Amino acid sequence: MPKNFVSLWMLSNSRSAIAVALGFLVHIGVATASDCIAPSGSAVAAVTLRTSPTAKSTANGKLESGQTLPLIASMPGWYETQLANGQTAFASKRSTEVIACPEGSANVLTVPEVQYELHAIDVGTGLSVLVRGPDFALLYDAGSNDDMARGDNNRTLAYLNTLQPPIQKLSHVILSHPHRDHVELLPDVVTRLKPSNVWNSGAYNDICGYRNFLFAIAADPSIQYHTATQDEGNESIEMAAKNCYGDKQPSQTLTLNHGKKITNEKISLGQGASMTFLFVDGSPRSSLNENSLAVRLDLGTHKILLMGDAEAGGRNLPSTTPKESSIEGKLLACCTEELKADILVVGHHGSKTSSRKKFLDAVGAKTFIVSAGPTKYATVVLPDQEIITELEKLGQVFRTDLEDASCLMSPDKVGADSDGKPGGCDNVFVKIPVSKSISINYRRISD
Protein backbone atom coordinates (compact mmCIF):
# COMPACT_ATOMS: atom_id res chain seq x y z
CA MET A 1 0.00 0.00 0.00
CA PRO A 2 1.49 3.45 -0.92
CA LYS A 3 2.88 5.30 2.07
CA ASN A 4 1.12 8.52 1.08
CA PHE A 5 -2.30 6.84 0.78
CA VAL A 6 -3.74 8.66 3.78
CA SER A 7 -1.29 11.54 4.07
CA LEU A 8 -3.80 14.21 3.12
CA TRP A 9 -6.22 12.93 5.75
CA MET A 10 -3.91 12.80 8.74
CA LEU A 11 -4.42 15.90 10.82
CA SER A 12 -2.43 14.80 13.86
CA ASN A 13 -1.03 11.72 15.58
CA SER A 14 -4.03 11.44 17.87
CA ARG A 15 -5.78 8.09 17.89
CA SER A 16 -9.06 9.67 16.81
CA ALA A 17 -7.49 11.23 13.71
CA ILE A 18 -5.83 7.93 12.87
CA ALA A 19 -9.12 6.07 13.33
CA VAL A 20 -10.87 8.44 10.95
CA ALA A 21 -8.16 8.09 8.34
CA LEU A 22 -8.15 4.30 8.64
CA GLY A 23 -11.88 4.34 7.95
CA PHE A 24 -11.01 4.89 4.29
CA LEU A 25 -8.47 2.09 3.87
CA VAL A 26 -9.04 -1.15 1.99
CA HIS A 27 -10.77 -3.82 4.04
CA ILE A 28 -8.28 -6.29 5.48
CA GLY A 29 -10.65 -8.18 7.76
CA VAL A 30 -9.03 -7.42 11.14
CA ALA A 31 -10.05 -5.30 14.10
CA THR A 32 -8.21 -2.00 14.51
CA ALA A 33 -7.56 -0.34 17.87
CA SER A 34 -9.43 2.97 17.98
CA ASP A 35 -11.19 5.42 20.22
CA CYS A 36 -14.70 4.93 21.54
CA ILE A 37 -17.23 7.19 23.20
CA ALA A 38 -18.90 6.39 26.50
CA PRO A 39 -21.26 8.26 28.88
CA SER A 40 -19.22 10.77 30.87
CA GLY A 41 -19.22 11.03 34.67
CA SER A 42 -21.59 13.99 34.40
CA ALA A 43 -24.24 11.94 32.60
CA VAL A 44 -27.04 11.14 35.05
CA ALA A 45 -28.87 8.80 32.65
CA ALA A 46 -28.44 7.03 29.34
CA VAL A 47 -27.23 9.37 26.60
CA THR A 48 -29.75 9.95 23.82
CA LEU A 49 -28.30 9.44 20.34
CA ARG A 50 -29.53 11.60 17.47
CA THR A 51 -29.83 11.23 13.68
CA SER A 52 -27.95 14.52 13.11
CA PRO A 53 -25.74 16.78 15.27
CA THR A 54 -28.52 18.91 16.74
CA ALA A 55 -30.72 18.43 19.78
CA LYS A 56 -33.78 19.04 17.57
CA SER A 57 -33.15 15.95 15.44
CA THR A 58 -34.85 12.58 15.90
CA ALA A 59 -33.57 10.19 18.58
CA ASN A 60 -32.26 6.91 17.16
CA GLY A 61 -30.91 5.09 20.20
CA LYS A 62 -29.36 5.36 23.66
CA LEU A 63 -25.87 4.87 25.03
CA GLU A 64 -26.19 3.25 28.43
CA SER A 65 -23.72 3.38 31.33
CA GLY A 66 -20.95 0.84 30.73
CA GLN A 67 -21.52 0.77 26.98
CA THR A 68 -19.20 2.15 24.29
CA LEU A 69 -19.56 3.00 20.62
CA PRO A 70 -16.83 3.68 18.05
CA LEU A 71 -15.74 7.28 17.48
CA ILE A 72 -16.11 8.12 13.78
CA ALA A 73 -15.58 11.91 13.80
CA SER A 74 -15.57 14.93 16.07
CA MET A 75 -17.34 18.21 15.35
CA PRO A 76 -18.35 21.23 17.43
CA GLY A 77 -20.53 19.95 20.29
CA TRP A 78 -21.00 16.44 18.92
CA TYR A 79 -19.34 13.08 18.31
CA GLU A 80 -20.31 11.01 15.28
CA THR A 81 -20.60 7.28 15.91
CA GLN A 82 -22.02 4.15 14.29
CA LEU A 83 -24.66 1.79 15.68
CA ALA A 84 -24.47 -1.99 15.42
CA ASN A 85 -26.95 -1.89 12.52
CA GLY A 86 -24.61 0.39 10.54
CA GLN A 87 -26.65 3.56 11.03
CA THR A 88 -24.88 6.82 11.78
CA ALA A 89 -25.68 8.48 15.11
CA PHE A 90 -24.53 11.57 17.00
CA ALA A 91 -23.90 12.02 20.73
CA SER A 92 -23.60 15.30 22.59
CA LYS A 93 -20.11 16.02 23.91
CA ARG A 94 -21.67 17.39 27.12
CA SER A 95 -22.76 13.89 28.11
CA THR A 96 -20.00 11.74 26.63
CA GLU A 97 -16.24 11.31 26.71
CA VAL A 98 -13.62 9.67 24.52
CA ILE A 99 -11.96 6.55 25.89
CA ALA A 100 -9.84 3.74 24.49
CA CYS A 101 -12.12 1.02 23.16
CA PRO A 102 -12.15 -1.91 25.61
CA GLU A 103 -9.94 -4.78 24.50
CA GLY A 104 -11.96 -7.37 22.65
CA SER A 105 -14.93 -5.02 22.46
CA ALA A 106 -17.41 -5.64 19.68
CA ASN A 107 -17.36 -1.88 19.16
CA VAL A 108 -13.76 -1.78 17.97
CA LEU A 109 -13.85 -0.62 14.36
CA THR A 110 -12.99 -3.05 11.62
CA VAL A 111 -11.43 -1.35 8.64
CA PRO A 112 -13.95 -0.99 5.80
CA GLU A 113 -13.19 -0.79 2.11
CA VAL A 114 -12.26 2.49 0.47
CA GLN A 115 -15.09 5.01 0.59
CA TYR A 116 -15.65 8.30 -1.19
CA GLU A 117 -17.87 11.21 -0.23
CA LEU A 118 -19.95 13.74 -2.17
CA HIS A 119 -21.26 16.87 -0.47
CA ALA A 120 -23.72 19.18 -2.26
CA ILE A 121 -23.21 22.31 -0.16
CA ASP A 122 -26.22 24.55 0.47
CA VAL A 123 -24.94 27.93 -0.76
CA GLY A 124 -28.37 29.43 -1.37
CA THR A 125 -29.11 30.14 -5.04
CA GLY A 126 -26.07 28.56 -6.62
CA LEU A 127 -23.93 25.45 -6.77
CA SER A 128 -21.00 24.01 -4.85
CA VAL A 129 -20.11 20.30 -4.81
CA LEU A 130 -17.23 18.67 -2.94
CA VAL A 131 -16.05 15.15 -3.78
CA ARG A 132 -13.24 13.52 -1.83
CA GLY A 133 -11.52 10.21 -1.38
CA PRO A 134 -8.69 8.95 0.79
CA ASP A 135 -6.07 10.84 -1.20
CA PHE A 136 -7.82 13.66 -3.08
CA ALA A 137 -10.37 16.44 -2.65
CA LEU A 138 -12.17 18.05 -5.58
CA LEU A 139 -14.50 21.07 -5.58
CA TYR A 140 -16.86 21.68 -8.50
CA ASP A 141 -18.08 25.31 -8.42
CA ALA A 142 -18.68 27.58 -5.44
CA GLY A 143 -21.04 30.46 -6.10
CA SER A 144 -24.26 32.09 -5.05
CA ASN A 145 -26.65 34.77 -6.26
CA ASP A 146 -27.80 35.76 -2.77
CA ASP A 147 -25.21 34.64 -0.19
CA MET A 148 -21.96 36.20 -1.34
CA ALA A 149 -20.28 36.68 2.04
CA ARG A 150 -16.52 36.49 1.80
CA GLY A 151 -13.74 35.61 4.22
CA ASP A 152 -14.71 33.63 7.32
CA ASN A 153 -18.41 33.88 6.40
CA ASN A 154 -17.89 32.29 2.99
CA ARG A 155 -20.54 29.53 3.06
CA THR A 156 -18.48 26.96 1.14
CA LEU A 157 -15.40 27.45 3.32
CA ALA A 158 -17.56 27.33 6.46
CA TYR A 159 -18.98 23.98 5.37
CA LEU A 160 -15.58 22.52 4.48
CA ASN A 161 -14.40 23.45 7.96
CA THR A 162 -17.06 21.18 9.51
CA LEU A 163 -15.63 18.05 7.91
CA GLN A 164 -13.50 15.55 9.81
CA PRO A 165 -10.71 15.27 9.04
CA PRO A 166 -10.71 18.88 7.79
CA ILE A 167 -9.61 19.72 4.27
CA GLN A 168 -6.35 21.64 4.32
CA LYS A 169 -5.67 21.56 0.58
CA LEU A 170 -7.69 20.81 -2.54
CA SER A 171 -6.35 18.61 -5.33
CA HIS A 172 -8.70 20.06 -7.94
CA VAL A 173 -11.05 23.02 -8.37
CA ILE A 174 -13.37 22.97 -11.38
CA LEU A 175 -15.34 26.04 -12.46
CA SER A 176 -18.13 24.90 -14.73
CA HIS A 177 -18.62 28.42 -16.18
CA PRO A 178 -18.09 32.00 -14.94
CA HIS A 179 -21.56 33.01 -13.74
CA ARG A 180 -21.84 34.54 -10.28
CA ASP A 181 -23.88 31.65 -8.85
CA HIS A 182 -20.99 29.30 -9.70
CA VAL A 183 -17.86 31.41 -9.13
CA GLU A 184 -18.53 34.05 -6.46
CA LEU A 185 -17.23 32.03 -3.49
CA LEU A 186 -14.22 30.52 -5.30
CA PRO A 187 -11.61 33.30 -4.81
CA ASP A 188 -11.46 32.64 -1.05
CA VAL A 189 -11.36 28.89 -1.66
CA VAL A 190 -8.39 29.17 -4.04
CA THR A 191 -6.52 31.54 -1.73
CA ARG A 192 -6.97 29.46 1.42
CA LEU A 193 -6.95 25.87 0.17
CA LYS A 194 -4.35 26.28 -2.59
CA PRO A 195 -5.57 23.75 -5.16
CA SER A 196 -2.94 21.88 -7.15
CA ASN A 197 -5.04 22.14 -10.32
CA VAL A 198 -7.75 24.55 -11.47
CA TRP A 199 -9.94 23.64 -14.44
CA ASN A 200 -11.93 26.32 -16.30
CA SER A 201 -13.37 26.52 -19.81
CA GLY A 202 -11.50 29.77 -20.45
CA ALA A 203 -14.63 31.74 -21.31
CA TYR A 204 -14.31 35.22 -19.77
CA ASN A 205 -16.90 37.16 -17.75
CA ASP A 206 -15.91 40.59 -16.41
CA ILE A 207 -17.67 40.29 -13.05
CA CYS A 208 -15.92 40.78 -9.73
CA GLY A 209 -16.17 37.16 -8.61
CA TYR A 210 -14.54 35.85 -11.80
CA ARG A 211 -11.86 38.57 -11.85
CA ASN A 212 -10.94 37.79 -8.23
CA PHE A 213 -10.92 34.09 -9.07
CA LEU A 214 -8.30 34.73 -11.76
CA PHE A 215 -6.31 37.04 -9.45
CA ALA A 216 -6.22 34.27 -6.81
CA ILE A 217 -4.91 31.76 -9.38
CA ALA A 218 -2.26 34.17 -10.65
CA ALA A 219 -1.09 34.88 -7.09
CA ASP A 220 -0.05 31.23 -6.59
CA PRO A 221 2.42 30.11 -9.27
CA SER A 222 2.26 26.50 -7.96
CA ILE A 223 -1.30 26.13 -9.34
CA GLN A 224 -1.60 24.33 -12.66
CA TYR A 225 -4.30 26.22 -14.56
CA HIS A 226 -6.10 24.26 -17.28
CA THR A 227 -8.50 25.64 -19.90
CA ALA A 228 -10.01 24.56 -23.21
CA THR A 229 -8.36 27.47 -25.00
CA GLN A 230 -4.61 27.21 -24.34
CA ASP A 231 -1.95 24.56 -23.76
CA GLU A 232 1.07 24.78 -21.47
CA GLY A 233 2.73 28.17 -21.10
CA ASN A 234 1.87 31.63 -19.82
CA GLU A 235 -1.23 33.58 -20.79
CA SER A 236 -1.47 37.36 -20.45
CA ILE A 237 -4.92 38.87 -19.89
CA GLU A 238 -5.50 42.61 -20.08
CA MET A 239 -7.77 43.56 -17.17
CA ALA A 240 -9.63 46.88 -17.35
CA ALA A 241 -9.96 49.00 -14.22
CA LYS A 242 -12.95 48.06 -12.04
CA ASN A 243 -14.32 48.76 -8.58
CA CYS A 244 -15.03 45.46 -6.83
CA TYR A 245 -16.58 45.56 -3.36
CA GLY A 246 -14.91 48.89 -2.65
CA ASP A 247 -11.56 47.65 -3.95
CA LYS A 248 -10.47 49.89 -6.82
CA GLN A 249 -8.64 47.56 -9.16
CA PRO A 250 -6.44 49.44 -11.68
CA SER A 251 -6.05 48.36 -15.27
CA GLN A 252 -3.35 45.69 -15.35
CA THR A 253 -1.93 42.70 -17.16
CA LEU A 254 -2.61 39.37 -15.45
CA THR A 255 -0.30 36.40 -16.11
CA LEU A 256 -1.63 32.87 -15.70
CA ASN A 257 0.54 29.73 -15.69
CA HIS A 258 -1.18 27.11 -17.85
CA GLY A 259 -0.90 23.38 -17.44
CA LYS A 260 -2.05 20.95 -20.11
CA LYS A 261 -5.08 21.91 -22.16
CA ILE A 262 -8.35 20.22 -21.18
CA THR A 263 -9.16 17.21 -23.35
CA ASN A 264 -11.53 14.26 -23.09
CA GLU A 265 -8.80 11.97 -21.74
CA LYS A 266 -9.37 10.28 -18.38
CA ILE A 267 -7.55 12.00 -15.51
CA SER A 268 -6.52 10.08 -12.40
CA LEU A 269 -7.75 11.59 -9.14
CA GLY A 270 -6.32 9.03 -6.73
CA GLN A 271 -6.99 5.56 -5.37
CA GLY A 272 -9.60 3.99 -7.68
CA ALA A 273 -10.91 7.37 -8.84
CA SER A 274 -10.76 9.36 -12.08
CA MET A 275 -12.52 12.16 -13.91
CA THR A 276 -13.37 12.70 -17.57
CA PHE A 277 -14.47 15.97 -19.15
CA LEU A 278 -17.33 15.00 -21.45
CA PHE A 279 -18.00 18.50 -22.78
CA VAL A 280 -15.40 21.24 -23.13
CA ASP A 281 -15.83 24.54 -25.01
CA GLY A 282 -14.10 27.81 -24.17
CA SER A 283 -15.06 29.73 -27.30
CA PRO A 284 -17.24 32.88 -27.14
CA ARG A 285 -20.93 31.94 -26.96
CA SER A 286 -24.18 33.86 -26.76
CA SER A 287 -24.68 32.44 -23.26
CA LEU A 288 -21.97 31.40 -20.81
CA ASN A 289 -24.15 28.40 -19.94
CA GLU A 290 -23.03 27.00 -23.30
CA ASN A 291 -19.48 26.88 -21.91
CA SER A 292 -20.41 24.64 -18.99
CA LEU A 293 -17.85 21.91 -18.32
CA ALA A 294 -19.68 18.58 -18.06
CA VAL A 295 -17.64 16.15 -15.97
CA ARG A 296 -18.06 12.47 -15.09
CA LEU A 297 -16.35 11.19 -11.96
CA ASP A 298 -15.61 7.46 -11.68
CA LEU A 299 -15.37 6.48 -8.01
CA GLY A 300 -14.78 2.76 -7.71
CA THR A 301 -17.74 1.14 -9.46
CA HIS A 302 -19.90 4.25 -9.17
CA LYS A 303 -20.21 7.22 -11.52
CA ILE A 304 -21.22 10.84 -10.83
CA LEU A 305 -22.25 13.27 -13.58
CA LEU A 306 -21.81 17.01 -12.98
CA MET A 307 -23.52 19.21 -15.58
CA GLY A 308 -23.08 22.80 -14.35
CA ASP A 309 -25.64 24.89 -16.26
CA ALA A 310 -25.53 22.76 -19.42
CA GLU A 311 -28.76 23.17 -21.35
CA ALA A 312 -30.93 21.35 -23.88
CA GLY A 313 -32.49 24.42 -25.46
CA GLY A 314 -35.04 27.03 -24.41
CA ARG A 315 -37.51 26.55 -21.56
CA ASN A 316 -39.65 23.60 -22.51
CA LEU A 317 -41.25 20.43 -21.17
CA PRO A 318 -38.98 17.46 -20.36
CA SER A 319 -40.54 15.47 -23.22
CA THR A 320 -39.10 17.93 -25.76
CA THR A 321 -36.11 16.67 -27.75
CA PRO A 322 -32.86 18.51 -26.94
CA LYS A 323 -31.64 20.85 -29.66
CA GLU A 324 -28.76 19.36 -31.62
CA SER A 325 -26.70 22.51 -30.97
CA SER A 326 -27.18 22.32 -27.19
CA ILE A 327 -24.79 20.59 -24.78
CA GLU A 328 -27.32 17.85 -24.01
CA GLY A 329 -27.90 17.40 -27.74
CA LYS A 330 -24.19 17.19 -28.50
CA LEU A 331 -23.56 14.69 -25.71
CA LEU A 332 -26.40 12.49 -26.92
CA ALA A 333 -24.94 12.58 -30.43
CA CYS A 334 -21.38 11.67 -29.43
CA CYS A 335 -21.23 10.06 -26.07
CA THR A 336 -24.31 8.13 -24.98
CA GLU A 337 -22.36 5.36 -23.25
CA GLU A 338 -20.09 7.83 -21.47
CA LEU A 339 -23.13 9.55 -19.93
CA LYS A 340 -24.07 6.56 -17.76
CA ALA A 341 -24.07 7.56 -14.08
CA ASP A 342 -25.50 6.53 -10.73
CA ILE A 343 -25.88 10.11 -9.48
CA LEU A 344 -26.73 13.19 -11.55
CA VAL A 345 -26.12 16.65 -10.15
CA VAL A 346 -28.92 18.14 -12.22
CA GLY A 347 -28.08 20.78 -14.81
CA HIS A 348 -29.05 24.45 -14.46
CA HIS A 349 -30.58 24.10 -10.97
CA GLY A 350 -33.52 22.04 -12.25
CA SER A 351 -34.54 24.48 -15.00
CA LYS A 352 -36.77 23.51 -17.93
CA THR A 353 -33.87 24.56 -20.16
CA SER A 354 -32.18 21.28 -19.19
CA SER A 355 -32.81 17.66 -18.11
CA ARG A 356 -34.83 16.51 -21.10
CA LYS A 357 -36.27 12.99 -20.82
CA LYS A 358 -34.10 11.64 -23.64
CA PHE A 359 -31.00 12.88 -21.84
CA LEU A 360 -32.11 11.54 -18.45
CA ASP A 361 -32.82 8.13 -19.99
CA ALA A 362 -29.31 8.04 -21.45
CA VAL A 363 -27.76 8.90 -18.08
CA GLY A 364 -29.83 6.24 -16.30
CA ALA A 365 -29.29 7.72 -12.83
CA LYS A 366 -31.52 6.75 -9.92
CA THR A 367 -30.34 9.52 -7.59
CA PHE A 368 -30.62 13.22 -8.41
CA ILE A 369 -29.29 16.29 -6.60
CA VAL A 370 -30.78 19.70 -7.33
CA SER A 371 -28.94 22.75 -5.97
CA ALA A 372 -31.21 25.79 -5.97
CA GLY A 373 -32.43 28.73 -3.90
CA PRO A 374 -35.06 31.48 -3.67
CA THR A 375 -33.51 34.18 -5.89
CA LYS A 376 -35.14 34.49 -9.29
CA TYR A 377 -33.37 33.81 -12.56
CA ALA A 378 -35.00 36.59 -14.60
CA THR A 379 -38.65 35.92 -13.65
CA VAL A 380 -38.33 32.29 -12.50
CA VAL A 381 -37.43 30.67 -9.20
CA LEU A 382 -35.80 27.31 -9.85
CA PRO A 383 -36.23 24.37 -9.87
CA ASP A 384 -39.19 24.01 -12.20
CA GLN A 385 -41.80 21.61 -10.89
CA GLU A 386 -42.04 19.84 -14.24
CA ILE A 387 -38.39 18.81 -13.90
CA ILE A 388 -38.79 17.68 -10.30
CA THR A 389 -41.81 15.57 -11.30
CA GLU A 390 -39.84 13.94 -14.12
CA LEU A 391 -36.90 13.19 -11.83
CA GLU A 392 -39.16 11.69 -9.16
CA LYS A 393 -40.46 9.22 -11.75
CA LEU A 394 -36.92 7.95 -12.17
CA GLY A 395 -35.63 7.83 -8.60
CA GLN A 396 -34.82 9.83 -5.47
CA VAL A 397 -34.47 13.61 -5.57
CA PHE A 398 -32.48 15.58 -2.99
CA ARG A 399 -32.66 19.38 -2.92
CA THR A 400 -30.70 22.13 -1.19
CA ASP A 401 -33.69 24.51 -1.04
CA LEU A 402 -36.15 22.58 1.17
CA GLU A 403 -35.80 24.82 4.24
CA ASP A 404 -34.99 28.14 2.58
CA ALA A 405 -37.73 30.09 4.39
CA SER A 406 -36.88 28.90 7.90
CA CYS A 407 -33.16 28.95 7.10
CA LEU A 408 -33.07 32.74 6.64
CA MET A 409 -33.01 33.54 10.35
CA SER A 410 -31.91 30.16 11.66
CA PRO A 411 -29.38 30.35 14.52
CA ASP A 412 -28.35 26.76 13.79
CA LYS A 413 -26.75 26.51 10.33
CA VAL A 414 -23.36 26.39 8.66
CA GLY A 415 -21.74 29.78 8.16
CA ALA A 416 -23.17 33.07 9.35
CA ASP A 417 -26.24 32.45 11.55
CA SER A 418 -29.53 34.40 11.53
CA ASP A 419 -28.22 36.50 8.65
CA GLY A 420 -31.38 36.73 6.56
CA LYS A 421 -29.71 34.73 3.80
CA PRO A 422 -30.61 31.29 2.46
CA GLY A 423 -27.93 28.64 2.58
CA GLY A 424 -26.29 26.58 5.26
CA CYS A 425 -29.23 24.28 6.06
CA ASP A 426 -29.95 21.65 3.38
CA ASN A 427 -26.57 20.12 2.62
CA VAL A 428 -26.73 16.75 0.84
CA PHE A 429 -24.23 14.06 1.89
CA VAL A 430 -23.50 10.92 -0.14
CA LYS A 431 -21.33 8.03 1.06
CA ILE A 432 -19.90 6.09 -1.88
CA PRO A 433 -18.21 2.76 -1.10
CA VAL A 434 -16.06 1.34 -3.89
CA SER A 435 -18.39 -1.52 -4.77
CA LYS A 436 -21.33 -1.45 -2.36
CA SER A 437 -24.53 0.59 -2.64
CA ILE A 438 -24.32 4.33 -2.04
CA SER A 439 -26.16 5.95 0.87
CA ILE A 440 -27.48 9.51 0.71
CA ASN A 441 -29.13 11.84 3.18
CA TYR A 442 -29.20 15.44 4.38
CA ARG A 443 -26.40 16.75 6.56
CA ARG A 444 -28.13 19.45 8.58
CA ILE A 445 -25.50 20.73 10.97
CA SER A 446 -24.25 23.89 12.64
CA ASP A 447 -20.73 25.15 13.04
pLDDT given for residue 161 in this prediction? 93
Rounded mean pLDDT of 157-171? 92
Q: Is the pLDDT of residue 11 over 60?
A: no
Distance between the two ends of the chain, CA-based, in angstroms? 35
pLDDT digits (tens, 9 = 90+) for 347-399: 999 999 999 999 999 999 999 999 999 999 999 999 999 999 999 999 999 99
Q: Is the pLDDT of residue 107 over 90?
A: no
| CA separation for the pair 178, 289 (Å, rounded) | 9
Tell me which of 53 and 29 has the higher pLDDT. Answer: 53
Instruction: Tell me how far CA of residue 173 lies from CA of 89, 156, 183, 187, 304, in angstroms.
Output: 31, 13, 11, 11, 16
pLDDT digits (tens, 9 = 90+) for 46-64: 899 998 888 888 888 899 8
pLDDT digits (tens, 9 = 90+) for 253-304: 999 999 999 999 999 999 899 999 999 999 999 999 999 999 999 999 999 9
% of the chain with per-residue pLDDT over 70 = 90
Rounded mean pLDDT of 175-182? 98
Torsion angle of C-alpha atoms 286, 290, 293, 298, degrees rounded to 10: 180
Q: Is the pLDDT of residue 80 over 90?
A: no
pLDDT given for residue 127 in this prediction? 98
- The DSSP bridge pattern shows strands 172-175 and 197-200 to be parallel
Q: Is the pLDDT of residue 411 over 90?
A: yes
Q: Is the pLDDT of residue 402 over 70?
A: yes
pLDDT given for residue 42 in this prediction? 76
Read off the pLDDT band of 102 (50, 70, 90): confident
Strand positions, DSSP E, 321-420: 343-345, 367-370, 396-399
pTM for the model: 0.78
pLDDT given for residue 105 in this prediction? 61
Read off the pLDDT band of 110 (50, 70, 90): very low
Rounded mean pLDDT of 113-140? 95
pLDDT given for residue 13 in this prediction? 32
Cβ distance 308 to 182 under 8 Å?
Answer: yes
Q: What is the CATH number of domain 115-443?
A: 3.60.15.10
Look over the chain and give the mean of its residue pLDDT values, rounded to a whole number. 89
pLDDT given for residue 152 in this prediction? 87
Q: Which fold has domain 7-100?
A: SH3 type barrels. (2.30.30)
Q: Is the pLDDT of residue 18 over 70?
A: no
Torsion angle of C-alpha atoms 185, 187, 193, 199, degrees rounded to 10: 90
| CA separation for the pair 201, 347 (Å, rounded) | 17
pLDDT digits (tens, 9 = 90+) for 299-349: 999 999 999 999 999 999 999 999 999 999 999 999 999 999 999 999 999
Q: Would you kindly state where each structural domain of the chain is located, as residue ranges?
A: 7-100, 115-443
Instruction: Among 48-57, 175-184, 232-241, 425-434, name the one with the lowest average pLDDT.
Output: 48-57
pLDDT given for residue 209 in this prediction? 97
pLDDT given for residue 413 in this prediction? 94
pLDDT given for residue 104 in this prediction? 66
| CA separation for the pair 136, 168 (Å, rounded) | 11
Sheet arrangement for strand 59-63: 59-63, 47-50, 88-92, 78-82, 69-75, 35-39, 96-100
pLDDT given for residue 240 in this prediction? 95
Q: Is the pLDDT of residue 216 over 50?
A: yes
| CA separation for the pair 193, 396 (Å, rounded) | 33
pLDDT given for residue 283 in this prediction? 94
Read off the pLDDT band of 113 (50, 70, 90): low
Rounded mean pLDDT of 233-257? 93
Read off the pLDDT band of 1 (50, 70, 90): very low
| CA separation for the pair 438, 107 (Å, rounded) | 23
